[in-house]
Amino acid sequence: MAGKVLCVGSAPFVEVLEMLGFEGLVLRGGDEELAALLRSLPSEVEVVVLEESMAGAFGPSSRRVVSSRAVPFVLLPGGMGRDG
């Protein structure tokens, strides 16, 4: 995953990102699992947290997280959407 941007979010967000050609990861679990994941990533991997509810697990001062913002709406296949 060297030089990749890992986009972190729940399934609807990640599915859209993968359709666009980005690396994505569906996260399920508590803060401890998310923190362990972040520690296990190579240092050259940038992390983009797509949902505020998940951002806290990575810590606001983490230098590894390059973006932390809510994505309020994503258009899904079939015209379905998700409000955040």
**Contact assessment for residue 65 and residue 9, using Cβ atoms and an 8 Å cutoff:** no
Q: Running DSSP on this structure, what letter comes out for residue 5?
A: E
In 3-state terms, what secondary structure has residue 7?
strand
Q: Tell me, rounded to whole angstroms, the distance of Cα 67 from its chain centroid.
A: 9
Domain ranges within the chain, ordered by starting residue: 5-78
- Count CB neighbours of 50 within 10 A: 24
Supply the pLDDT for residue 40. 74
Per-residue pLDDT 10s for the chain (84 aa) are: 334 555 566 666 667 666 766 666 655 555 566 667 667 767 666 666 555 555 555 555 444 444 444 333 333 333 333 444
Token representation of residue 12: 């609807």
Supply the pLDDT for residue 73. 33
Does this model's pTM top 0.85?
Answer: no
Give residue 10's identity as a one-letter amino acid code.
S
